[in-house]
Amino acid sequence: MTIALTNPDKPSPARARFGIDVGARLDAMPGVKRAKIDTAQVYYMADFVTDEECHGLCFLIDKGRRPSTLLSETQDSEFRTSESCDLHRYTPQVRRIDERIADLLGIPHAHGETMQGQRYAPGQQFRAHYDHFRSDMPYWPRMEAEGGQRTWTAMIYLSDVEEGGTTWFPQAGIRIPPRKRLLLAWNNMAADGSPNPFTLHEGTAVTKGTKYVITKWFREGHWLR
Ligand SMILES: O=C(O)CCC(=O)C(=O)O
Ligand SMILES: [Fe+2]
């Protein structure tokens, strides 16, 4: 029997390393705070971007937005009702933020997927899900070829939202209300490099206002080739 080196469901020393190295870097970074939970590595930093940068990214999201999609099928048409937009890394204003995120985490740029923008109007949401992959899903062969399992996720809130739109981790027991310019980052893997069930998270429905965020997912291998 051969076991793929990147088996996404099992412990992995290489993925465990990302937890140790990125965690140590964020622990030492001025202005970065760790959420006070032991079950997952969740960090945040206020004012990671400027108002002008938020404005510029919201403009790009509005220009390119289309209905958000899901990697795995669901019967629930309300599961992810937001709109999304790919933000290409060589667009100068995207590149600046993209490199700032990779530099903060200390993960080489090539591990990062294309940055995505998300827009939620009132009533729109992204129900509880994991960002990490499973090998028993039809999408896995493609994801395996594109850098394997996801490790860290970074998000930046680009707007203040009047009501709703909290990012909720029901298993870890934390809620992050959207705050303009704030960066949120978490490790989707547990200490042993296997998927961490405590990273289940939900973008709860916006009830008033509009929520704009960017999401940046990092792979264990090179996504860019
Ligand atoms: O909008 C949020 O608060 C969460 C977004 C999210 O989980 C994702 O895009 O994967
Ligand atoms: Fe997510």
Q: What is the ipTM of this complex?
A: 0.99
CATH number, residue 136: 2.60.120.620
pLDDT for residue 124: 92
Q: Sign of dihedral through CA atoms 90, 94, 99, 105?
A: negative
Tell me whether residue 194 is in a domain.
yes
Tell me whether residue 211 is in a domain.
yes
Judged against a pLDDT cut of 80, whether residue 75 lies above it is answered with no
Is 215 touching ligand 1 by the criterion CB < 6 Å? yes
If one counts the domains in the chain, the total is 1
Q: Which residues surround ligand 2, an ion (CB under 5 A)?
A: 131
The ligand 1 atom at the shortest distance from the C-alpha of residue 153 is 10
Tell me whether residue 7 is in a domain.
no
Query: Ligand 2 center to residue 29 CA distance, Å?
Result: 24
Residues 12-55 have pLDDT tens digits of 999 999 999 999 999 999 999 999 999 999 999 999 999 999 99
pLDDT for residue 78: 85
Joined together, the tokens standing for residue 134 give 């499973």
Range of the domain at 169: 33-69+76-219
